[in-house]
Every structure is written in structure tokens, then in C-alpha cells.
Amino acid sequence: MSISKASAASILLAILAVLAPSIRAADTNLVYSPCTDTTVQKSDGFTFGIAFAPRTSFVFNNTLQLSPCDSRLSLSSSSQLAVFRPKVDEISLLTVNTSGFFPENYGGYMVAFAGRKYAARSNSAFVANSTYTVTSFTLVLEFQKGRLQNLFWKRDGCATCSGNSSFVCLNNQDCAIKTSSCKNRGSGGTVDCSLGIQLAFSGTDKHLSVFNSWYEVENLRQYSLYKLYSNLKDSLTSQYNNFF
Ligand SMILES: *[C@@H]1O[C@H](CO)[C@@H](O)[C@H](O)[C@H]1NC(C)=O
Ligand SMILES: *[C@@H]1O[C@H](CO)[C@@H](O)[C@H](O)[C@H]1NC(C)=O
Ligand SMILES: *[C@@H]1O[C@H](CO)[C@@H](O)[C@H](O)[C@H]1NC(C)=O
Ligand SMILES: *[C@@H]1O[C@H](CO)[C@@H](O)[C@H](O)[C@H]1NC(C)=O
């Protein structure tokens, strides 16, 4: 296992951006758009997007959970997009800096997605409204023969914040802090409410090698990578305090 600190994404205004290729010898995946299909092998980079919008914007005709790449959703006006390119099979902690981006102003929900013909997307996850903000997430990317099959949010039932009065457990699954405690909200809050998204990869690459990072996250959960992000320590759950 190797651990990397994935670069923070820039938030782009509803444009599905094509990232400039980064120089990495072992990265053989030439697809840099989150809306293009690809297959990957271990050591490749993999581009996916996270769209922020109202929950209803991710559903077409009240029934179909379409990918944000699907133009039928017409997400353009009300949404924000972050694009990431982690290395597959590395445990990464992605951050979305919210010093100038307030998720509650864009509908407060997010969906992770990639692909077009073989589109995959997560369920929509609650991020923030004017009362509560959730800052810690774990996203699992599941591949089969190197093709993305599924993205899902892994919850721990608020185990990481139980008993801590700084946090509220929403729907028995998300540890949330009061949005009024967050910086730059005009309420005198001091907490950096940037989002931390821990990634894990499961399944197989195109040569049928098994991704191990999901296994590692399950085992490392109590240690986590949040210690790498000491500037987030006020908003992340207390269990990580010992490791800063
Ligand atoms: C929307 O859903 C209804 C049934 O729920 C269906 O009759 C209708 O054809 C759908 N419209 C489109 C454009 O898919
Ligand atoms: C977000 O950006 C602000 C301003 O550039 C910076 O002060 C802050 O430390 C950043 N937060 C994180 C979590 O990177
Ligand atoms: C914010 O979200 C929480 C949890 O879903 C909900 O209980 C609360 O009513 C919401 N507040 C507002 C102002 O929408
Ligand atoms: C609650 O969590 C905050 C933020 O991680 C931490 O600063 C505080 O010490 C925790 N309180 C308790 C009682 O664990």
C-alpha cells in the first residue's frame, strides 16, 4: 500500500473540464475527462467528478438517477463541479476547500460520477444546509476488469463522533457540525468546514489484479489519513485527534 495526498480540486463552474495531463511515468490512462469511458490498471490515474446541486437536480423525471454527464439533467446553472484524479489503489484523502465555496448555496447535496456509455454514479449525499454541515466522507470506487462499476458512500453510523457535543448525528449516518460554527458564514464561526473525502478502491484492474485499498481502509479506519490534514482538525471527528 502507498499513501498519497491527492491534490485538492479546483471548483469549476459547471463545466466538465479536461484536466491537463500530469507527468507521471506509470500513468497509462489517457482519459482526463470524467465523462469519458476508460479502463485502468494499477498505478494509473483515474479522473472522476463530484457535482454539488440540490438533491432533486440529480434525478430525471422524478425516477431516473442519471449521471451528471447526462445532458438531460441540465445541472449547468445551479451546480458546481470538482474534478479529481487520484491514483488507483492508493488511499487518498481529497479535500474541497470551502473558504470561498459554500455547498449549502448550491443545493447542499453531492454526487460522485464517471463515465458516459458505462456511466456510474453514487447516490446523492447530504453535505450542508444552513443548519448543518457534514465534513467527513468515505467514497469507495468499485472496478471490474478495470472499468468503474459503482461508486458508493461508506458510512460508519456516526461511530467517529458519538459522545462529542460538537457534532450531531444526522439520520444515524453522518457526523455534522453546525454551519454557524463554520468560518466565513457571517456568524463568527471559526471552524474550517472544508470537506474531506477519503477514497478507497475495490475490485479488479484490467489485468484482473485485485485492488487492495478498500481492505486497507477497513483496517486503517481508526487511524485514517486525516492526520495529514492538520488544518482540518477542528472539523473532523474527535477520534482522529490523537493522530494530529
Ligand atoms: C416520466 O415518467 C412518467 C411515469 O413516471 C412516464 O410516463 C414519462 O414517459 C416519463 N417521461 C420521460 C420524458 O421519460
Ligand atoms: C482553504 O483556503 C484558505 C485560503 O486560501 C486557506 O487559508 C485554508 O487553510 C484552506 N483550507 C484547507 C483545508 O486547505
Ligand atoms: C438541514 O438538514 C437537516 C438534516 O437533514 C434537517 O433536519 C433540517 O431541517 C435542515 N434545515 C434546513 C434549514 O433546511
Ligand atoms: C469534539 O471534537 C472536536 C473536533 O474534533 C474536538 O476539538 C473536541 O476535543 C472533541 N470533544 C470531545 C469531548 O471529544
Q: Is the pLDDT of residue 188 over 60?
A: yes
**158 domain-assigned:** yes
Confidence of residue 221 (pLDDT cuts 50, 70, 90): low
- Give pLDDT tens digits for 85-103: 999 988 888 888 888 899 9
Q: Which residue has the higher pLDDT, 109 or 187?
A: 109
What's the grid cell of residue 6? 491527492
Please tell me the predicted confidence (pLDDT) of residue 141.
96
Is the Cβ atom of 181 under 6 angstroms away from ligand 4?
A: no
Q: Residue 58 sits in which domain range?
A: 27-243
Kindly give the number of the ligand 4 atom that is closest to the alpha carbon of 241.
5
Among 56-65, 200-209, 224-233, where is mean pLDDT lowest? 224-233
Looking at the domain assignment, is residue 166 inside a domain? yes
Q: How many CA atoms lie within 13 Å of 142's alpha carbon, on the beta-carbon side?
A: 9
- Please choose from 231, 235, 236 the residue to mutate so as to test ligand 2's pocket, defined by most ligand atoms within 8 A of CB: 231
Q: How many domains does the chain have?
A: 1
What per-residue confidence (pLDDT) applies to 230?
A: 44
> Hey, CA dihedral for 96, 214, 204, 22, is it positive or negative?
positive
pLDDT(216) > 80: no
pLDDT interval class at 212 (50, 70, 90): confident
Within-domain flag for 14: no
- Is residue 3 included in any domain, yes or no? no
Nearest one of 97, 165, 171, 110 to 137, comparing CA atoms:
110
pLDDT the model gives residue 6? 35
* Within-domain flag for 48: yes
Q: Is residue 20 part of a domain?
A: no
Nearest residue (by CA) to ligand 3, atom 8, is: 131
Q: What percent of the chain has pLDDT over 90?
A: 51
61 lines ligand 1 (CB under 6 A): yes
Does 6 map to a domain? no
Least trusted range by pLDDT, from 2-11, 52-61, 165-174, 200-209: 2-11
- Ligand 3, residue 129: give the atom nearest the CA: 1
Q: What is the mean pLDDT of the chain?
A: 80
Distance, in Å, from the CA atom of 164 to the CA atom of 9, rounded to the nearest integer, reads 30
pLDDT bin (cut points 50, 70, 90) of residue 239 is very low
Report yes or no: 127 and 53 within 8 Å, Cβ to Cβ: no
Q: Is residue 202 part of a domain?
A: yes
Cα distance between residue 127 and residue 194, in whole Å: 11
**Which residues does ligand 3 sit against, CB inside 6 Å?**
126, 129-132, 170
Q: Please list, in sequence order, all residues whose beta carbon lies within 8 angstroms of the beta carbon of residue 47, skipping any fewer than 6 positions away.
A: 19, 31, 32, 33, 34, 83, 84, 85, 114
For 103-143, write each residue's pLDDT tens digit: 999 999 999 999 999 999 999 999 999 999 999 899 999 99
